[in-house]
Structure 1
Amino acid sequence: IKELQQLPESLRFEMKVVSAVLPFRVNAYVIEELIDWQQVPNDPIFQLTFPQKGMLSDVHYNRMAMAIRSDLDKQALRLVANEIRQELNPHPAGQLEHNVPCDSAGEPIPGLQHKYRETVLFFPSQGQTCHSYCSFCFRWAQFVGDKNLRMATTEADKLYGYLEEHPEVTDLLVTGGDPMVMKSRQLKTYLEPLLHPRFSHIQSVRIGTKALTFWPQRFITDEDADELVELLHHLVLAGKHVAIMAHYNHWRELDTDIARAAIRRLRATGAEIRSQGPLLAHINDCEDDWVKLWNEQIKLGIIPYYQFVERDTGARRYFEVPLHKAWQIYREAMQKVSGLGRTARGPSMSADPGKVEIQGIAEMNGQKVFVLRFIQARDPSWVQQPFFAKFDEKATWFDQLQPADEYSERFFRKPAV
């Protein structure tokens, strides 16, 4: 990457060390169109895509740096990297332990997750990479070449069989990685069978993607872009609600002509585009960035959906923001947008028991508390019930909080899986 040659050698070495542990991939569009190289290393898109020293703890960084300086062979370097990865909570919130469902014979179904009653996640193996990698990614373990950490399947029949046996499921979320890296014909083979009457209970097909940011050409100039657009339009005409779950982290991602053209073309299919992304130190931990992001999305016809809290995995220590600060940023941003922008729920923590929203900070019985609720939960009876946690100015994640009263204690116990 010629642009990196303008950076100090020490910074390039730091990138080499971190990228030996955490996945790194970037394409020409991001380098040439999105990053302002005059602002590097502080440019938000550079921070979003390029490894930074602070993404590893000092202990982990020094261990990996020493291994590289010692000229170890590839196998020895991989061993050191894998040891560090295992200490970075590669699959948070019970993704492998609690979310993988079983078939009628009681056998786990790889490549599926079923955490919430109405929604099944599907990880097609051809979609388990991305056009570029986000440096904060909570699914970073998908991309490091360790099959033991990877969630994926090529067995669509297992998916269809499971959906047929579970009429309570209304939504299928095709995710990754990024399903939009797949050829359109591959995506079609997975999605078209859902139009069969036996899947009439599947009302919505969601596709999680960052392609609108990292490769908008996917919808405009790629050789099978027309086929992809026709597929989505076909699903809509057949009666399925198609939701493009677009991952956005900064308003600059919306600034290029081709990105806006891709949004217009997708919306013309009848699909809805909903935006989601975490609040991140070094990238968007300022209410004005969120105000501009949401306002620009509304102008383009995108529905703001979620503002997440950075998950407890991978490079979280570099990106995490204290919960009280996250709520303050969200609150101040909400105060500056119209009602159309206030559809974004947050700050939301995708924790083991469910999606926990921080609703505010209050005083109760003489103590300062966080006011919380579950937007989604393994136990649906927990949804929309307010509960309280003791205020902690250092807390960055749900499991660092303590119940503030006896009533709230049950929401901190792990529900039955």
Structure 2
Amino acid sequence: MRVFSHQRLGQIPQLVRHAPHLMESISLVARVLPFKVNDYVVNKLIDWTDVPNDPIFRLTFPQAQMLDAEDLEQLAYCVRNEGGEQQLNALIQRVRDGMNPHPAHQQLNAPSLDGQLLQGVQHKYAQTVLFFPSHGQTCHSYCTFCFRWPQFIGDKSLKFASNDGEQLHRYLARHPEVTDVLFTGGDPMVMTAAHLTRYLEPFLQPALSHVTTIRIGTKALSYWPYRFVSDTDTPQLMALLRRLVDSGKNVALMAHLNHWRELTTPVAEEAVSALQQLGIVIRAQGPVLRHINDSASTWKRNWEQQVRLGIVPYYMFVERDTGPQDYFQVPLARALSIYNEAIESVSGLAKTARGPSMSAGPGKVEVSGTLDLQGQRYFLLKFIQARDTRWLGKPFLARYSETACWLDQLQPPQGQSEFFFEAQYRRFVEQGAPQGTQALVRGEA
């Protein structure tokens, strides 16, 4: 696999040949936002005759419009005037700080074990624990919308990571309420089979029998399907997954798929088939993104293709309020319209897709529809997952807005000063990470 960064843009022949005028702006934006792309994406997925409009190009190559025009101009000035490295670094940091690098109070999810905060673990919901293996905290290529962008540019304050699998396993053994563990990153599928074995094999032991589902969040089907077909240690990887399935575990590959073109190559289809032959369920999820997939026809084709390949459509997310959000964000009203139009035009097997869903601080909130009451229009919302389990499934209203893109931009109905969950959520935030999480897990919230 050949990987390109902003220092190696000139080594991408397609970019030099088809879009030389874009190289400077890509290089400038890549100083602020992480950029990494491999030769598979460059050679197999991007339609270079349609650059810069090609959705996979926009999905992987930073665009000038992702930064404020004035900030971009100042970056260009600092880069062109040699000797201003300190000024350049200060500017880059200021721009990053203005992009909400710490959305949704991620630190609230961190649990503790024997009085010590666990590194690389989030007990996000009562039944679900997330683990961030340190060897998997990168990706085959970076998505330009990724909400974990700060950890790829060295922001250690949001870098959840651990190479201590034993600590994870001990924590899980003490929490029989946990049924699902999600290995995430980055991308766990950048790890070798040997590293994955160290983390996953202990789930075959009786002490962890209550963990019935192992999820693996990955973009490998899109960005490096050879991982499941022909990498050097692919046989060892597939044998490990087979042992987990044969033991009775539900192994679910949570595939991040943003556009139907990502699964159109023969090797991608081969990878899907190889995983399914092991008994692995592949579920597809991704956000609705302006410039990438913000049309009902794209989502219709996306879901239809997934069903054809035996992949389960799972979630349409709302783009998180971080990074170059102004470039990608779709208002909730439009996201709901796209979802409804697309879901109405597919068969029942594709109607498993839920959304639009916001993974916000208080929990996972679905925009279920709109209501007209007493001459006022409202969004109908509900929690799919929540920090306080009493919030789950409870419908609530927010004033309709054509422009709101996130939960904190919505207003409660007239006569209500705040939404029903806000006071309790503030207490979670004030309590801090371990206390808030443990209260939720014990059902004391």
TM-score, with length taken from structure 1: 0.96
In structure 1, the partner of 2:296 is: 287
Give 1:160 shift.
1.4
Q: Tell me the distance in 2 between the aligned counterparts of 1:413 and 1:59.
A: 39
- State the match for 1:298 in structure 2: 307
- The answer as to 2:99 corresponding to 1:99 is no
CA-to-partner distance for each residue in 1:49-75, whole Å, 9 max, x for gaps?
Answer: 100011112343233233222224656
Shift of 1:101: 1.3
What's 2:140 paired with?
131
Verify the 8 A CA contact 2:18 2:49 in the aligned structure 1.
Answer: no
Q: Which residue of 2 aligns with 1:313?
A: 322
Equivalent AA in structure 1 for residue 77 of structure 2: M
- The CA deviation string for residues 148-196 of structure 1, in whole angstroms up to 9 with x for no partner, is 3322111112211211221111110000000000001100100001111
Match of 1:346 among 350, 355, 358: 355
**Structure 2 residue identity aligned to 1:266:** L
Q: Secondary structure in 1 aligned to 2:113?
A: coil
Equivalent in 44, 47, 54 of residue 55 of structure 2: 44
User: 1:134 Cα deviation (Å)?
Assistant: 0.5
For residue 370 of structure 2, the aligned residue among 345, 361, 366 is: 361
Instruction: Pick one of 54, 65, 75 that aligns with 1:54.
Output: 65
User: Helix, strand or coil: the match of 1:409?
Assistant: coil
Q: What are the superposed Cα offsets for residues 114-138 of structure 1, whole Å, 9 maximum, x if unpaired? A: 1211111100010000001001101
Once the two structures are TM-superposed, the CA of residue 413 in structure 1 deviates from its matched residue by 4.0
Which secondary structure state, in structure 1, belongs to the residue aligned with residue 217 of structure 2? strand
1:411 deviates by 3.1
Structure 1 contact 247–277 (Cα < 8 Å) conserved: yes
| Structure 2 letter corresponding to 1:63 | Q
The farther-off stretch of 152-161 and 177-186 is 152-161
What's the counterpart of residue 419 of structure 2? 409
Shift of the 223–162 alpha-carbon distance from structure 1 to 2, 3 Å rule, reads same
What is the deviation of 1:80? 2.9
Q: Distance in 2 between matches of 1:342 and 1:318?
A: 28
Of 92, 106, 112, 2:121 maps to: 112
Corresponding residue SS for 1:5: helix
Distance verdict in 2 for CA 1:330–1:138, change over 3 Å: same
- State the shift of 1:8 in Å: 5.2
Deviates more, 1:57-66 or 1:181-190: 57-66
Shift in alpha-carbon separation, 1:270–1:406, aligned structure 2, 3 A: farther
**Deviation by residue 1:63-96 (Cα, 9 ceiling, x = unmatched):** 3233222224656544432332222111211112
Could you tell me which residue of structure 1 aligns to residue 46 of structure 2? 35
Which residue matches 2:36?
A: 25
Give the conservation status (yes or no) of the 8 Å contact 1:309–1:326.
yes
Q: CA–CA distance in 2 between the matches of 1:63 and 1:350?
A: 34
Distance 1:8 1:42 in 2: 11
Is contact 2:151-2:158 (8 Å) kept?
Answer: yes
Q: Which residue of 2 aligns with 1:270?
A: 279
Cα deviation code 1:346-367 (max 9, x no counterpart): 0000000011101111212221
What letter corresponds to residue 23 of structure 1 in structure 2? P
SS, match of residue 38 in structure 1: helix
> Do the aligned residues in 2 keep the contact of 1:23 with 1:144 (CA within 8 Å)?
yes
2:129 & 2:419 partners in 1: Cα distance? 29
Find the partner of 2:386 among 366, 377, 381: 377
Distance (whole Å) between structure 2 residues aligned to residue 79 and residue 231 of structure 1:
46
CA drift at 1:44:
0.6
Decide whether the 8 Å contact of 2:78 with 2:84 is kept in 1.
no
Tell me the equivalent position of 1:397: 406
| SS of alignment partner, residue 94 of structure 1 | helix
TM-score normalised by L of structure 2: 0.90
Q: Which residue is 1:169 aligned to? A: 178
Distance verdict in 2 for CA 1:274–1:8, change over 3 Å: closer
C-alpha distance in 2, partners of 1:127/1:79? Answer: 29
Residues 387, 411 of structure 1: 8 Å contact kept? no
Question: For residue 300 of structure 2, what is the amino acid of its counterpart?
Answer: V
Q: Secondary structure at the match of 1:253?
A: helix
Deviations 1:6-58 (A, max 9, x none): 35554221111110010001111101110000000000110111000111123
2:376 and 2:121 map into 1 onto residues whose CA distance is: 43
Inter-partner Cα distance in structure 2 for 1:280 and 1:255: 20
- Partner of 2:48, secondary structure, is coil
Partner of 1:259: 268
* 3-state SS of paired residue (2:181): strand
1:239, 1:405 → 2: CA distance? 51
Larger displacement relative to structure 2 (66-75 or 19-28): 66-75
Matched to 1:284, the amino acid is N
Q: Give unmatched runs, 5+ long, in structure 1.
A: none
Over the aligned positions, Cα root-mean-square deviation in angstroms equals 1.5
Question: What is the aligned partner in structure 1 of residue 242 from structure 2?
Answer: 233
Q: Please give the alpha-carbon distance, in whole angstroms, between the structure 2 residues aligned to 1:73 and 1:224.
A: 46
Equivalent position amino acid for 2:34 in 1 = P
Q: Tell me which amino acid in the other structure corresponds to 1:227.
A: Q
Q: Which residue type is aligned with residue 353 of structure 1? A: P
The reply to whether residue 214 of structure 1 matches residue 198 of structure 2 is no
